[in-house]
Amino acid sequence: SHSIAHYFHFDNKFFQTLKPLITKPGIVTLDYLAGKRARYINPISMYIFVSIVFFLVVYVPKNKVKEQKHTYTEVIKQRQKQQDAVAKIKKPLEKIGLSEELTVSAQQAINQDMDRELFKAMSFKQQDSTLQVLRSNYQTTKSDSLQNFIKILEPIHIAKNDSTYTSYLARQKKLPADQQDNLIKRYYEKRRIGFGEHAEVIQEKLEYNRPKQYFLFMPLMALFIMLNFRRNHIKYLDHLIFTIHGMTAFFIVSIVVQPLRRIIPQSISFLSTLIEIGLIVWILWYLFKSLRVFYQRKTSTTIWRMLWIIILYGILLKISETIMVNLIFYVAT
């Protein structure tokens, strides 16, 4: 009976903490540190519970094989939609005074961009055949725009060809000595291709270690905040509790938003992009509001300090990801 009572007590406190944590940034931390702890759940307990749900719900392994099978078809459909959209706006553009040459060049630019995506989605043989046709057409027309387009497609084709280091070396041997890559370039290509070959393993390991990464980063994030708001003369532990509350709020919102993005059909993928933008805006708003409420600094000072915190955290994230990727790569190979 004691465990059941404890469970319902936890459940009640969780929901009492949830609403103000999401809607009133900084308030829960202020109340908690002011001694009003009876109504709120312990920050560590809530973080652990929410983070477990977050990594179960948000980091679902992706079926990359299925994605690749549909890529080519989806790009073709997208290209057709793009062409239809351009055709619809062509006349209105001409009516408002834009010349036909300008609208045609705009249409060509859009089509070329879509053709580039279509070319990327092709198999190596399809790319090779396409380039042969384009080169043949160029020999007939001597079109500068066609020549430029071929130059855009050729690096994509080479990258597809160099899918393994062995195939890269084989292609290098066929080139004249003065066109072959030097030792530094070859080392770079070997690593690039190696990372590509083990991309799924690297990504899987990164996601697996993500909870540890976030957990280890919280003390550093709290340190960054303390350095930026050192004139407030607040103890480090209080900064850490503030950081834990902020990270918990981010997890809770992501638990709702990320699965929602995944279930949106490809036909309305722009909606997924809008949701992602909305999440970024919410994060910036929440960070600013919580810093403003908790540290009681001027708006301009808060914005400036917030930018520094984001930059420092971004640098830390980039360095750690680079180290982790390299470690995973060396273990995998």
Digit-coded pLDDT (tens) for 33-87: 998 888 888 999 899 999 888 888 877 655 443 444 445 555 556 555 555 655 5
pLDDT at site 61: 57
- Going by pLDDT thresholds of 50, 70 and 90, the confidence category of residue 133 is confident
Question: 271: which 2 tokens?
Answer: 């909606």
Angle between helices 299-332 and 199-228 (to 10 degrees): 150
What's the mean pLDDT when you consider all of the chain? Answer: 78
pLDDT at site 65: 39
C-beta separation of 221 from 313 below 8 A: yes
Question: 103: which 2 tokens?
Answer: 């609208």
Residue 79, burial from CB neighbour count under 10 angstroms (0-12, 13-18, 19+): middle
Tokens 């062409």: give the residue: 83
Digit-coded pLDDT (tens) for 237-278: 999 999 999 999 999 999 998 888 888 776 677 788 888 888
pLDDT at site 212: 80
